[in-house]
Amino acid sequence: MTSAPHRFALIQRVLHWLMAVCVLAMLFIGVGMVSTVAPKYLPLILVHKTTGFILLVLVLIRLALRLHYGAPPLPADLSKTMKLGAGLSHQLLYGLMIVMPLLGIGMLWAAAYPVILYGGIRIPALLPQSDLMHTLLWNAHVYVGFAFFALVLLHLAAGLFHALIRRDGVFASMSLLPLRDRGTQTK
């Protein structure tokens, strides 16, 4: 009764994996679309803009859920450095998930492009055209995007490290399906 939950709430886990798929797709679509002049450029950029907007809404919901439900504690035998790294990387991931769509939409506004999502939904501009602002936001979107991909890979490596090597229940706390490992077995 008094023990902390071993897993994230179902809605948190569902959102995590849904967003994981979308974020990975966004990173790949992002670098793919800007390197082509083929007709697929247009559908890719439409999907990128639309998914980016949806992800911005989802991350805010997810942040609220995280503040409401909290997170299961990390294993007691995890070193302080690892715990610090986990905490920082998760905060950074949240930050990037919020910042990336804002940089993206901001750079479109600053270039005086109309922002039109799937289905013809138009997002009104909140920034005026500005060469300087566009350049700053565009560079930030690109380079923060690369950092985001690196962090996603690190996060994936850490998850697999917990799942395959430490088998300490950390991966199971976020997995959609119950996993048999030390963490769940010793419940």
Partner 1 sequence: MNQGKLPRSGLGSLVLIAAVLGGGAAAFAYTAGWLSPERLTPERMIAALTPPSGPPLGHRRNHAKGICFTGTFEANGNGAELSKARVFERGAYPALGRFNLGTADPNAVDATVRVRGLGLQIAAADGEEWRMALINPPVFAVSTPQAFHELLIASGKKDPEAMKSFIQANPEFAAFAAWAKTAPWTTSYAEDFYNGLNSFIFTDAKGGERAVRWSLVPMAKGVPVSQADLEKRGPDFLEQEIVERVRTAGPQRWTMVTTVADPGDPTADPSKAWPENRRKVEVGTLIVQRIEPERDGPCRDINFDPTVLPQGIRVSDDPFPAARSSVYRKSYDLRAAEARDYPRTETAKP
Residue 59 CA from chain centroid, whole number = 7
Binding mask 106-145 for partner 1 (x = CB under 8 A): -----xxxx-----x-x-x----x-xx-xx--x-------
Tell the smallest beta-carbon distance from residue 30 to partner 1 (Å): 9
Q: Which of residues 49-108 bind partner 1 (CB under 8 A)?
A: none
Which residue's CB is nearer to partner 1, number 88 or number 112?
Answer: 112
- Residue 165 as a binder of partner 1 (CB under 8 A): the answer is yes
Q: Which is nearer to partner 1, 94 or 138 (CB)?
A: 138
The number of angstroms, rounded, from the C-alpha of 150 to the middle of its chain's C-alpha atoms is: 12
Site string for partner 1, 20-49 (x = CB under 8 A): -------xx--xx-xxxxxxxxx-------
Residues in the chain: 187
Q: Identify the DSSP state of 8.
A: -
Q: Do the beta carbons of residue 69 and residue 10 sit within 8 Å?
A: no
Measure the CA–CA gap between 179 and 168, rounded to whole angstroms: 11
Q: CA–CA distance from 40 to each of 34, 37, 54, 90 (Å)?
A: 11, 8, 21, 34
**Contact residues for partner 1, defined by CB under 8 A:** 27-28, 31-32, 34-42, 111-114, 120, 122, 124, 129, 131-132, 134-135, 138, 149, 153, 156-157, 160-161, 164-165
